[in-house]
Structure 1
Amino acid sequence: MPALWRLTRTETARRVYDALKARGLTATQMDEYVADADAADAGRDPPPGVEIRALDPAEARRFEARDDAFAELRDDETAVCAFDGGSGERDGEGSENGEAADADPVGYLFLGDPGLTYHIHPLEADVTLPGGYVRRVFVAPEARNRGIATALVSRAVAVADDRGAETVHALVARDNRPSQWTFESVGFRVARTRAYYRVGPWRRRRVKPRS
């Protein structure tokens, strides 16, 4: 079957993918990345002027007004957020020392505790992850290519390790090279590939271990 998941990289192609899926035709492959919490590179510093903070859901949901993604944050997850001390100052929101403690984050990810179950929409399946689970990695376009995503993932590994997780997991689309590079640079490896195919009522799921 054609690699239909490749249609998700642009807005126009995504609409084609969604239209096909609505008609019962979909094909998705996602790599499951895994890192040992005590062996991965959990010490990556953010770029100068950027602060990484782990926020509980009550703290993080104040950002919902500008980013709907925070409405998806579960009560059993942590939001790991990056704040640019210079951006708030440029926007007139910074304090005298240039910090932007009350500004919106320029990047974030969501980290789940070990053993949680998630409904993975591209796979149309519930998946239980034995370790911590990293999802929704995002960096604002104006803040990209500075190492913020890598610093976010690194901090997430450290937080998961502090909470007793032996492993940390992430699901990444097969064609999402930026995310793959980010996880690999911190020490994640592909443990298995999860594939899902549907043509009308016919469905097939496959989990293939990777060396």
Structure 2
Amino acid sequence: MPALWRLTRTETAHRVYDALKAHGLTATQMDEYVVHTSELEATRDPPTGVEVRALDSDDARVHEQTYDAFAELRDDERAVCAFDTDTVDSDSFGGDSLGDDSVDGDSLVGYLFLGDPGLTYRIHPLETDVTFSGGYIRRVFVAPSARNRGIATTLVSEAVSLADEQGAETVHALVARDNRPSQWTFESNDFRVERTRSYYRIGPWRRQRVTER
């Protein structure tokens, strides 16, 4: 089966992938990265000028006005967010509140979603449901203007710390096999590939495979 998942790395190629998928031809491989929270070291400090905060789902949805992804944030997830403090009044982060509608949505420069331990997710590229015994990180994003500053690495580090506080023994993430930037982000936080999940479909013929690493 050709490595069709490689077609997803550019906008033009992604359209080719979607067209093939619409005609019943698809192939996906995703590496499942795992870190054991018992191996957790100190949480990374955010880059200068960046504030990292965990928001409950209700508080985080104000940012849907800026990033559509927040519309799919589940009630049993939290959003770990990075804010550019140069454009945010520090009073917005006062007190114990984890969310504040007064925070300017344009100041949000990065985020990820962290699920509680033991949740089940529909993994659309694999066309299957997967239950993760530990916490699950998804939707890692940093605005183009804020990249190459270590923000994604800091967000993942904070998410692992939060999962540890929830009693999770492990934290998981699924990464496309050709998504090298995401691989670097998780590997720099001591995540390692424990298994590869593969999915192939040609018309009515389907095959799921999980390979332990």
The answer to whether the 8 Å contact 1:40/1:188 transfers is no
How far the C-alpha of 1:65 sits from its partner, in A, is 1.2
Distance between the aligned counterparts of 1:7 and 1:69, measured in 2?
22
What residue is the counterpart of 2:53 in the other structure? 53
How far the C-alpha of 1:40 sits from its partner, in A, is 3.3
What residue is the counterpart of 1:135 in the other structure? 138
What residue is the counterpart of 2:77 in the other structure? 77
Distance between the aligned counterparts of 2:90 and 2:166, measured in 1?
35
Runs of 4+ off more than 2 Å? 94-101
What residue is the counterpart of 1:91 in the other structure? none
The answer to whether the 8 Å contact 1:42/1:186 transfers is no
| Equivalent AA in structure 2 for residue 150 of structure 1 | T
What residue is the counterpart of 1:119 in the other structure? 122
Label 1:115 to 1:97 Cα distance change in 2 as closer, same or farther (>3 A). Answer: closer
The answer to whether the 8 Å contact 2:92/2:103 transfers is no
Which runs of 5 or more structure 2 residues have no equivalent in the other structure? 94-99
TM-score after normalising by structure 1 = 0.93
Which runs of 5 or more structure 1 residues have no equivalent in the other structure? 89-93
| Equivalent AA in structure 2 for residue 82 of structure 1 | A
How far the C-alpha of 1:95 sits from its partner, in A, is 3.2
- Choose the corresponding residue for 2:154, options 151, 160, 167: 151
Distance between the aligned counterparts of 2:120 and 2:31, measured in 1?
17
For the residue of structure 1 that corresponds to 2:66, the secondary structure is coil
Question: Would you say 1:95 and 2:96 are equivalent positions?
Answer: no
For the residue of structure 2 that corresponds to 1:115, the secondary structure is coil
What residue is the counterpart of 1:110 in the other structure? 113
Distance between the aligned counterparts of 1:75 and 1:196, measured in 2?
28
Distance between the aligned counterparts of 1:41 and 1:2, measured in 2?
40
The answer to whether the 8 Å contact 1:7/1:14 transfers is yes
Label 1:2 to 1:59 Cα distance change in 2 as closer, same or farther (>3 A). Answer: same
The answer to whether the 8 Å contact 2:47/2:151 transfers is yes
Distance between the aligned counterparts of 1:45 and 1:163, measured in 2?
21
Distance between the aligned counterparts of 1:34 and 1:155, measured in 2?
15
Distance between the aligned counterparts of 2:15 and 2:71, measured in 1?
23
What residue is the counterpart of 1:44 in the other structure? 44
The answer to whether the 8 Å contact 2:31/2:175 transfers is yes
What residue is the counterpart of 1:68 in the other structure? 68
What residue is the counterpart of 2:97 in the other structure? none
How far the C-alpha of 1:122 sits from its partner, in A, is 0.4
RMSD, matched Cα: 1.7
Residues 147-181 of structure 1 show CA distances to partners (whole Å, capped at 9, x for unaligned) of 00000000000000000000000000000000000
The answer to whether the 8 Å contact 1:132/1:165 transfers is yes
Label 1:96 to 1:61 Cα distance change in 2 as closer, same or farther (>3 A). Answer: closer
